[in-house]
Every structure is written in structure tokens, then in C-alpha cells.
């Protein structure tokens, strides 16, 4: 508009969306740096303000924030380069958001990150007829953000991974695995089979009428019949497609395929079926793996059992040697008094001492070796072999019958039987029993995405 055409004191009408002003916090904001060291570690993590149907974003960001390696990479990125707001990339803005979350115990408003997100991915800027932002799919948000992070987070030197497992970017190093896909024709024996290697960054849990456990849902997606044109005939043939994992990722993301599009309603309906997933137990990826990887996992598990047996025998031997030492000490006292009258009896004592000392040295060395081995395992946080086990670290849940509505919440593990629930700005503590209520089957929240961390050997 030409500002010269406006008259002095002329009234203007400004068009736009009415957004309520954020209310002042009910409690004073507490910065972590002001807390005593004893309170800083146990301080409640920061929540995230809902900016208008942004629970899908807040819940997923909290789960990503709970991954130490990713958090450190993003914090380093934001510290190395501090561009102005209008030049900030999505990874830089997420790193800044993580820094803001680490600085306070109060809720943080993710305005900068949200603005950059909408610039990079306009679908998250979509509004309804009422002018409000539409609810979005947390999995679509996760996919979009991870792709941007993959493009920019290249430095993997600080990650606790072996050299061969460090890829060209942080996201691939942490979240990527490999699957071997085999196609075998079921209609024509003369049709050659084919095999190819594919990279994956998550596994899908397909939910059928008989699916009760996450492992079942994953395996359902690992075997299917596909139709394609044959190479020996000029028409379509049916092929059995079988997938098996040949490389396990450091972090395994599982997405529950709960939403499907219903044409008549033009809505993405939700499958409410209860699907159990490991919470206080480990997720066993053994059955998802190729025969070669299964053999490696089997060797690792056998070695662990052998090590435990050896350590137990060492402890028993040491206990026995201590008992023998007590007995020999008593024998020495008795024979010492007898030496005054019978010099011949003194010969036996050094022999007992020698045997006892050798036993003590041997058992002490066995125990020390086990301790040193354990210490080396701790120092080398990346295992040299595969256990095939994963521990649940975070969950994104959805409540409601449709993908275009409802509410998302994030849940992150703090320790054994201790979890943090992130309901936008509201943050609370809970235990394993609350996480087990997220299996689904009712109106309460059900797991939509789970992130598991590899268990070291």
C-alpha cells in the first residue's frame, strides 16, 4: 500500500489471526545455573508451550531431546555458529531450543524453531477454516526433521561409536540400519530370485486382527506377496518378499501404523487395538535378523553366559580360599606352640601357606580380570559385538479416534522404573506401570512411536 495516501489520524483495520497473549508464569522462572549442584541434576526438565495444535511437535522434540548423542551434536552446532534469526537453519534452531530447555526448569516457548519449521515445510503452516493451525501427524514431523538433521549434522567424531559404525552424518550413525530384501517367485520356478540391500531408519509395526505384540507387527511387515512383471515371461508374477536385518542401528525407532484413510469420511481413522511392547523388559531383535547376524548375536549371548559362569566360579574359589586361609592361620597357631617340643611339625606350615597364597593370587587375578573387562566395557560405550537387545528410552503417544485431531504426549525414561511425562508445558513424573497403560485398546493414550536404545554387550 502507498502510505502517502493515508490521512493523519485515519483509522485502519488490521487483518490477521487472533492469537491470545501468553500468560505470565504462575511461578517465577528458575534457571538451572542458579540451582545448587545437589538440586541441578534432579530438577524437573522443561516443558514446551503449545503454540496452537503443536503438541505433535512438542512431544516428538522432547523424545529427541532425551537422546544424549543427538542433543550434544545439536548443542555443538548451535554454539559453533550463531546466525541471526532470519538465517537460522532448522538444525541450528533445534539446537538453540535444546539450549533454552537446558537453561531453565520452566516452560519454553519454541517460537524460533516453529517458525523455521514452517518455512522449510509449509504443510505445518496449514490452517483450518477457523484460522487456527491444524493438528499434524507426529510421524510426518519426525520424518521431516530427521531428514534436515541428516543433511546438516555431519561431524560424528564425538559419538561413542567404532570407526566402522560412524557414517557420513550423525543421524545415519545413530538411527540407520540395513535390511536384506529377497524376492522369490511363487508362480514360476524358472524365475530367478533377487536380493538387494536397503537402508532403514525405523521399523513399522503393522496392526492386524491378530496382532497383539510389537514383534508380531514388525514381522508382519517383513514378509509379503508383491506382484511385478517377470524376467522370463511377458506377464505379471507373484513374488514372496522377505526382509531380514543385517545391521542393527544404535537407536531403533518403531512406528505403530495406527492410522488409515477412510474414504467415505475423508478422515484418517485410528486403529485402537491393544499392542504390547517391552517397557521394563528388553526388546529382542533376534527374530528380525539374518542368519549371519543371528549367529553373531548367539555368540555374544553365549559369551556373556560363559563370562557370568566364570565370574561366579571365581567368586566361589575366592570364598573357598579365604576359608582355607582362616584354617591355615589356625593351623599355624597350633603348630607354632607345638614347634617348641617337636621341630618336625614346622615343615607343613610353609607348604600350606604356599598353596593358599597361590590359590589367593589365582582367584584374585580372575576377579581382577573380570573387573578390568567390565571397566573396559564401560569406557568403550559402543559394544564390539551384538546382543540383539534394546531398551525403551522414549514414547510418543496419541489420544483420540482421528489423526487430524486428538492430543500427543511425550514420555522419556529417566532411570530404572522412572519416567518423565511431557504434556506440552506440563511436566510430571511416572513409573513403568504408567507406560504399560500406553499399549492401547481404549480411549486413553496409545503408543504411536517408540525409540529403543541398543543394549551393550
Instruction: Based on the fold, state whether residues 401 and 374 are members of the same structural domain.
Output: no
In a domain? residue 276: yes
The single residue of 55, 63, 205, 289 carrying the catalytic annotation is 55
In a domain? residue 2: no
51 closest CA partner among 152, 125, 102: 125
Instruction: Based on the fold, state whether residues 80 and 118 are members of the same structural domain.
Output: yes
In a domain? residue 409: yes
Q: Give pLDDT < 70 ranges for the chain.
A: 1-42, 155-158, 161-167, 326-384
Instruction: Based on the fold, state whether residues 395 and 269 are members of the same structural domain.
Output: yes
- The pLDDT value recorded for residue 356 is 44
Residues 6+ apart with CB under 8 A from 269: 259, 260, 261, 262, 401, 402, 403
Q: Which three cell numbers stand for residue 372?
A: 578390568
b vs e for 252-267, b when ≥16 Cβ sit within 10 Å of the residue's Cβ?
bbbbbbbbeeeeeeeb
Backbone Cα Rg of the chain: 30
In a domain? residue 106: yes
Q: Which three cell numbers stand for residue 135?
A: 493438528
The per-residue pLDDT for range 231-268, each reduced to its tens digit, is: 888 899 999 999 999 999 999 999 999 998 877 777 88
Instruction: Based on the fold, state whether residues 362 and 395 are members of the same structural domain.
Output: no
The per-residue pLDDT for range 313-351, each reduced to its tens digit, is: 888 888 887 777 766 666 666 666 656 555 544 444 444
In a domain? residue 13: no
- The pLDDT value recorded for residue 332 is 67
Instruction: Based on the fold, state whether residues 264 and 375 are members of the same structural domain.
Output: no
Residue 104 contacts residue 29 (beta carbons within 8 Å): yes
Active site residue 407: yes
Instruction: Based on the fold, state whether residues 32 and 129 are members of the same structural domain.
Output: yes
- The pLDDT value recorded for residue 78 is 80
Residues 6+ apart with CB under 8 A from 402: 267, 268, 269, 270
Instruction: Based on the fold, state whether residues 234 and 249 are members of the same structural domain.
Output: yes
Residue 440 contacts residue 272 (beta carbons within 8 Å): yes
In a domain? residue 420: yes
Total number of domains in the chain? 3
The residue from 379, 400, 431 where one domain ends is 379
The residue from 379, 408, 432 where one domain ends is 379
Instruction: Based on the fold, state whether residues 273 and 398 are members of the same structural domain.
Output: yes
- The pLDDT value recorded for residue 42 is 66
Residue 8 contacts residue 79 (beta carbons within 8 Å): no
CATH number for position 69? 3.90.70.10
Strand partners, 253: 451
The residue from 152, 168, 199 where one domain ends is 152
Instruction: Based on the fold, state whether residues 140 and 34 are members of the same structural domain.
Output: yes
φ/ψ of 391, rounded to 5, equals: -110, 135
In a domain? residue 4: no
Q: In which element (H, E) is residue 284 found? A: strand 283-284
The single residue of 206, 407, 429, 445 carrying the catalytic annotation is 407
Instruction: Based on the fold, state whether residues 284 and 316 are members of the same structural domain.
Output: no
The per-residue pLDDT for range 406-440, each reduced to its tens digit, is: 999 999 999 999 999 999 999 999 999 999 999 99
Domain hosting 352: range is 294-379
Instruction: Based on the fold, state whether residues 282 and 304 are members of the same structural domain.
Output: no
pTM for the structure as a whole: 0.77
Q: Which three cell numbers stand for residue 213?
A: 505384540
Instruction: Based on the fold, state whether residues 145 and 84 are members of the same structural domain.
Output: yes
Residues 6+ apart with CB under 8 A from 105: 29, 30, 31, 32, 35, 43, 44, 45, 46
- The pLDDT value recorded for residue 18 is 46
Q: DSSP character for 99?
A: H
In a domain? residue 248: yes
- The pLDDT value recorded for residue 130 is 87
- The sign one gets for the Cα dihedral 10, 16, 17, 23 is negative
Amino acid at each position: 500500500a502507498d502510505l502517502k495516501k493515508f490521512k493523519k489520524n485515519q483509522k485502519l483495520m488490521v487483518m490477521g489471526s487472533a492469537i491470545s497473549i501468553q500468560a505470565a508464569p504462575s511461578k517465577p522462572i528458575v534457571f538451572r545455573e542458579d540451582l545448587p549442584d545437589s538440586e541441578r541434576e534432579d530438577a524437573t526438565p522443561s516443558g514446551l508451550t503449545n503454540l496452537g495444535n503443536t503438541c505433535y511437535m512438542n512431544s516428538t522434540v522432547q523424545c529427541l531431546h532425551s537422546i544424549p548423542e543427538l542433543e550434544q551434536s545439536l548443542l555443538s552446532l548451535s554454539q559453533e555458529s550463531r546466525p541471526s534469526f532470519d538465517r537460522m537453519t532448522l538444525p541450528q534452531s533445534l539446537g538453540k531450543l535444546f539450549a533454552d530447555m537446558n537453561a531453565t526448569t520452566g516452560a519454553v516457548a519454541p517460537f524460533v524453531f516453529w517458525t523455521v519449521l514452517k518455512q522449510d515445510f509449509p504443510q505445518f503452516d496449514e490452517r483450518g477454516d477457523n484460522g487456527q493451525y491444524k493438528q499434524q501427524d507426529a510421524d510426518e514431523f519426525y520424518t521431516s526433521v530427521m531428514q534436515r538433521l541428516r543433511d546438516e549434522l555431519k561431524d560424528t567424531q564425538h559419538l561413542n561409536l567404532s570407526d566402522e559404525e560412524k557414517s557420513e552424518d550423525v543421524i545415519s550413525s545413530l538411527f540407520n540400519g540395513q535390511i536384506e530384501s529377497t524376492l522369490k517367485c511363487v508362480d514360476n520356478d524358472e524365475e530367478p530370485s533377487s536380493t538387494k540391500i536397503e537402508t532403514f531408519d525405523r521399523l513399522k509395526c503393522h496392526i492386524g486382527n491378530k496382532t497383539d505384540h510389537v514383534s508380531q507387527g514388525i514381522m508382519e511387515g517383513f514378509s509379503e506377496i508383491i506382484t511385478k512383471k517377470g524376467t522370463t515371461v511377458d506377464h505379471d508374477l507373484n513374488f514372496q518378499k522377505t526382509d531380514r536385518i543385517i545391521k542393527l542401528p544404535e537407536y531403533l525407532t518403531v512406528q505403530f501404523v495406527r492410522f488409515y484413510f477412510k474414504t467415505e469420511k475423508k478422515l484418517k481413522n485410528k486403529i485402537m487395538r491393544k499392542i504390547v511392547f517391552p517397557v521394563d523388559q528388553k526388546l529382542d531383535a533376534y527374530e528380525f535378523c539374518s542368519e549371519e547376524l543371528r549367529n553373531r548375536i548367539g555368540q555374544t549371548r553365549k559369551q556373556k553366559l560363559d563370562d557370568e559362569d566364570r565370574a561366579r566360579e571365581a567368586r566361589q574359589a575366592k570364598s573357598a580360599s579365604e576359608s582355607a586361609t582362616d584354617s591355615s592361620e589356625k593351623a599355624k597357631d597350633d603348630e607354632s606352640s607345638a614347634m617348641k617340643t617337636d621341630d618336625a611339625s614346622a615343615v607343613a606350615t610353609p607348604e600350606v601357606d604356599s598353596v593358599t597364597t597361590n590359590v589367593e593370587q589365582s582367584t584374585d587375578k580372575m576377579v581382577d580380570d573380570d573387573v578390568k573387562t567390565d571397566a573396559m566395557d564401560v569406557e568403550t560405550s559402543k559394544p564390539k559385538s551384538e546382543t540383539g537387545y534394546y531398551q525403551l528410552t522414549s514414547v510418543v503417544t496419541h489420544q483420540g479416534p482421528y489423526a487430524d485431531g486428538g492430543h500427543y504426549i511425550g514420555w522419556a525414561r529417566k532411570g530404572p522404573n522412572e519416567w518423565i511425562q511431557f504434556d506440552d508445558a506440563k511436566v510430571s513424573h511416572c513409573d513403568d506401570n504408567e507406560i504399560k497403560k500406553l499399549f492401547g485398546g481404549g480411549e486413553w493414550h496409545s503408543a504411536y512411536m517408540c525409540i529403543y536404545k541398543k543394549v551393550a554387550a
